[in-house]
Structure 1
Amino acid sequence: MKWLRRLSITARITIGSLIVATLFGLVAVEVVRLGVAAILHNATVTLLDNDVAAPAAALKNNPAGPFDLPGGGQELAIVGPGNVMLASTLPEALEDRVSRLVALGDDPKTVQVGDEEYLVLVREVETSAGTIHVIAARNSETTNLILDRLTGALLVGAGILVVGFGAASWLLARTALRPVSRMREQAERIADVSSTGLLPVGPARDELAELATTLNDLIRRLRASADRERQMVSDASHELRTPLAVLRGQLELAELDVGDPDALLTDIRASHATALRLGRLANNLLALSRIEAGPSSGRTDWRTLTDELADAIDRARLIASRSSDDDAHQISIDFDYTPRGRSTADLVVALSPTDVGRILDNLLGNAIRAITEAQEAGAEDAATPEGKAHDGEAHDGEAHDAAADAEGWVTAELTTTATTVVLTVRDSGPGMPEEFIPVALDRFTRAEASRTGHSGGGLGLAIVGALAGSAGGSVALANGDGGATGLVVTVVLPLVGAETGADE
């Protein structure tokens, strides 16, 4: 059967149709032949009954004869007691077997004599002279000839029908698969990387149209994935170029300061810090690539959400304590959570606890860095009217255009609605330029004032947006207090199964 697999679908459909049609034709021919044979047999039996009826009636009145047997091809015989032939128009071959014929009984029987075949009917007649048998026979040659010619005609007709059915099957298969050929030709054309075409979808809403629609969706996803990969490589090469150049310069300085231990130590520490930033950037790139590869498969319930929130607040407080140089620049970090009045077992989001913690760490860390850098800017540039834009990646690109209060604050609140869990992070930092907010979730985006920034490379909010999107949620950014100060980040995560009535 290996040769069959090498054939085209059209050829296989045609061959299969021919086989089915041939079997169907042979069965039909045999059924018709058997039906006609039964009709002819019944007709012959009826004729035999008519042949013996008149002689049998005459024998009852006149058993001694004379016996007037009809002619015209009717083969009759009257056999008296002791198998004595009283009268006969039977062929000699049947007359020689009269004793056997008498013993056949009342049912019609087929008798083969040489090449001839006869249907014989024997009727017993009780008379005053004893039991007399009337024998009638009909040659089956005519019946067999009719059956043979009918069978030949049926076979010829069935053959013509099979050939016509095969041709029709081939044409129908070619016509039905023509969209597949067009899809293949279009697929060869769109294989070009620069192509933006899609597979043709026919007007009929059939299986091929559904296949084309599914493949077009796959092509779109593959193109989007390829575009993301190309953009990721382009962005990574662009973002890594500067820190690598800085690291190379720091190593060259370390080589020049080999005779000065203090300067050498300073260069080594600076190189180490740059290497750490490169490592964080690479880890963030890998994390973002994994997130964008597909939807999240994790699950986190309400209790785990609150635990992750508490752990993230502890980590943020530790970072804030290390970032503050004195008590005047302390950062207060608080949190709150408020579940709705229902079973918390229903409150499940489509994110793993690790991903939830990553969202919290990025948002809280961004807020702390924004406040810390604003405090440093306020302390260093208090005498400068216009202030100085500082570097860093606060809020992944936030421009610091105002000094913060001496004491900053960050709050994180976890609430629920009928179908969502809402995380809101607010801070007292300087906020974001309004024109920058629409692109703040893009990779490697930073406000113009922080282009010289370092560390995360503008991936923190991009990771938050990608994680929320993988769970079917969204992220919204807005400046607090009418845009004067602070940033409010709202992460909305849909509840798993909320659309089927989770909210009771």
Structure 2
Amino acid sequence: MTWLRRLSITARITIGSLIVATLFGLVAVVVIRVGVSSILHNATVTLLDNDVAAPVQSVQSNPTGPFDLPGGGQELAVVDANGVILDSTLPTALEDRIDRLLALPPTPSTVQVGDDTYEVLVKAVPTKAGTMHVVAARNDETTSLILDRLTLALLIGAGVLILGFGGASWLLARAALRPVSRMREQADRIAGGETAGRGDDAGLLTVGPAQDELSELATTLNDLIRRLRASADRERQMVSDASHELRTPLAVLRGQLELAELDAGDADALLDDIRSSHSTALRLGTLANNLLELSRIEAGPSSGRIDWRTLVDELTDAIDRARLLVSSDEDDRSISVDFDYDPKRRPSSDSRIALSPTDFGRILDNLLGNAITAIRSRGARSDTGPVPRPGDVEPSAPAVEDVVSAALHVEPDWVVLTVHDSGPGMPEDFIPVALDRFTRADGARTTSRAGGGGGLGLAIVAALAGAAGGGVQLANAPSGGLVVTVRLPLVRA
């Protein structure tokens, strides 16, 4: 059947239609022949009954004859009680077999004599001279001739109909597949760089007005084209952004290594250069890891599922990690990391969030880390100022405790995570683009002792929330600081 797979769809449809039509035609011919044969047989039986009716009455009324058998092609015989033929119009071949004929049942029987076939009916007639018999026969030659000619006519008619059906199938298949051919040609032009159409439909397949399988195929292919183009655009944008973002730290690292080479004779200066190079290398590693993480998220939705209890566990673990981050800093500024959730309000037991525990922990770590960095950056700037002169007495400032808080609560069909800090907030004109990759404001939330972030933290948060079907909102709090709200939809397990 390999040759069949090599044929076109039109040819395969036509061949299949011809095979089906041939089978139906043969079945129809057989059914019609059997039906006509049954009708002719019943007609022959009726004629035999009519043939013997008059001779039976004649034998009953006058057993010794004469019997006056009718002619006109009727084949009859009268046989006495001793098996002697008294009168007959039967063919000689049947007369020679009269003993066998008398042994037949009183119903029509088929008798083969040479090349001829006869339908024979034997009627027993009780008389004063004993039981006599009337034998009637009909040659099936005419019936066979009728059936043969009818079968030939049916076969010729069926052949003509099958050929016509095959031609119609070919034309219909060509007409049905013509839009597919046009779609293929249009796809070839799109692959070659042609962008037919305007606006959002530029470079897409034409969707017909009919709501049929072809329009659904075109719509599906257009969706695939859009996704592929979006993926290609993201890849080009990521390569462009990554090359731009990596250029600066690489140049800094190269300069630091050149300084280290110049300070080879000064151990203290060399150690400072090595530490600076190490810090830059760590930043490069973090940037590369964030790029890989963002690429993984955008490659497809997460297959993980997380319930309410695991959400709370991940929240407490992220709070512990944030507190450890705060305690590891030598800054005297106090930062309090708190969290809140209502243990009495929880979703149903079969409700889940379409994220893995690791991904939800990544959201928490990025938001809490950004908040702590923002507060530290404000403290670093407030420490810079005029150098006090000898004898000046520094005024004592009241201790201020900064706060980073994370709250987790449930709404109908949603889980809402809110992270609030008492940092410097975010410029209002930057908030609309803050979730884009490699975007950093010029204000307080971008300056850190590590030399600034990579601009991917909030982009990763937005990508993870989007993969789960949710979203992220940023807003400056009236009392100061930034409020980040992450809404994640609940799904059934």
Please name the residue that 1:245 is paired with: 251
Please name the residue that 1:222 is paired with: 228
Please name the residue that 1:68 is paired with: 68
Please name the residue that 1:395 is paired with: none
Q: Report the alpha carbon displacement of residue 194 of structure 1 after superposing the two structures with TM.
A: 7.5
1:371 corresponds to 2:375: yes
1:416-455 to 2 correspondences below 5 Å = 416-448=410-442, 454-455=451-452
**Match of residue 272, structure 2, among 266, 271, 274:** 266
Please name the residue that 1:399 is paired with: none
Distance 1:342 1:435, change over 3 A: closer
Contact 1:445 1:458 in 2 (8 A): yes
Length-normalised TM-score, structure 2? 0.91
Contact 2:345 2:410 in 1 (8 A): no
Please name the residue that 1:24 is paired with: 24
Q: For residues 347 and 116 of structure 1, what CA distance do their matches in structure 2 show?
A: 87
Q: For residues 491 and 180 of structure 1, what CA distance do their matches in structure 2 show?
A: 45
1:214-363 to 2 correspondences below 5 Å = 214-326=220-332, 329-341=333-345, 345=349, 348-363=352-367
1:143 corresponds to 2:143: yes
Of 111-120 and 59-68, more deviation after overlay is shown by 111-120
Distance 1:218 1:458, change over 3 A: same
Q: Report the alpha carbon displacement of residue 38 of structure 1 after superposing the two structures with TM.
A: 1.0
Length-normalised TM-score, structure 1? 0.89
SS of the aligned residue for 2:94 comes to: helix
Once the two structures are superposed, what CA deviation does each residue of 1:362-416 show, in whole Å capped at 9, x if it has no partner?
1111111111111121221479xxxxxxxxxxxxxxxxxxxx9954222211121
1:487 corresponds to 2:482: yes
Once the two structures are superposed, what CA deviation does each residue of 1:42-100 show, in whole Å capped at 9, x if it has no partner?
11111111111111101111111112111111111111232212111122222222222
SS of the aligned residue for 1:166 comes to: helix
Q: Report the alpha carbon displacement of residue 202 of structure 1 after superposing the two structures with TM.
A: 2.7
SS of the aligned residue for 2:138 comes to: strand
Contact 1:201 1:213 in 2 (8 A): yes
Q: For residues 362 and 81 of structure 1, what CA distance do their matches in structure 2 show?
A: 120
1:8 corresponds to 2:14: no
Q: For residues 313 and 447 of structure 2, what CA distance do their matches in structure 1 show?
A: 36
SS of the aligned residue for 1:64 comes to: coil
SS of the aligned residue for 1:135 comes to: strand
Please name the residue that 1:56 is paired with: 56
Contact 1:323 1:372 in 2 (8 A): no
Please name the residue that 1:415 is paired with: 409
Distance 1:254 1:278, change over 3 A: same
Once the two structures are superposed, what CA deviation does each residue of 1:425-469 show, in whole Å capped at 9, x if it has no partner?
111111111111000000001124588874531001111111111
The one-letter code of the counterpart of 1:308 is: E
1:474 corresponds to 2:471: yes
Once the two structures are superposed, what CA deviation does each residue of 1:196-243 show, in whole Å capped at 9, x if it has no partner?
522333333233332332232222222222221111111111110111
Q: Report the alpha carbon displacement of residue 314 of structure 1 after superposing the two structures with TM.
A: 2.1
1:31-50 to 2 correspondences below 5 Å = 31-50=31-50
SS of the aligned residue for 1:3 comes to: helix
The one-letter code of the counterpart of 2:488 is: L
The one-letter code of the counterpart of 1:214 is: T
Q: For residues 93 and 30 of structure 1, what CA distance do their matches in structure 2 show?
A: 33
Contact 1:303 1:344 in 2 (8 A): no
Q: Report the alpha carbon displacement of residue 149 of structure 1 after superposing the two structures with TM.
A: 0.7
Q: For residues 221 and 340 of structure 1, what CA distance do their matches in structure 2 show?
A: 42
1:460 corresponds to 2:464: no
Distance 1:452 1:322, change over 3 A: closer
Quote the sequence identity (%): 73
Once the two structures are superposed, what CA deviation does each residue of 1:141-189 show, in whole Å capped at 9, x if it has no partner?
1111111111111111111111111112222222222232222222222
Task: Give unmatched runs, 5+ long, in structure 1.
Answer: 384-403, 499-504
RMSD: 2.2
Q: For residues 93 and 74 of structure 1, what CA distance do their matches in structure 2 show?
A: 15
Aligned residues: 474
In the TM superposition, structure 1's runs of 4+ consecutive aligned residues that sit over 6 Å from their partners are: 450-453
Contact 2:347 2:410 in 1 (8 A): no
SS of the aligned residue for 1:496 comes to: strand
The one-letter code of the counterpart of 1:475 is: V
Please name the residue that 2:391 is paired with: none
Contact 1:280 1:455 in 2 (8 A): no
Q: For residues 330 and 273 of structure 1, what CA distance do their matches in structure 2 show?
A: 25
Distance 1:279 1:44, change over 3 A: same
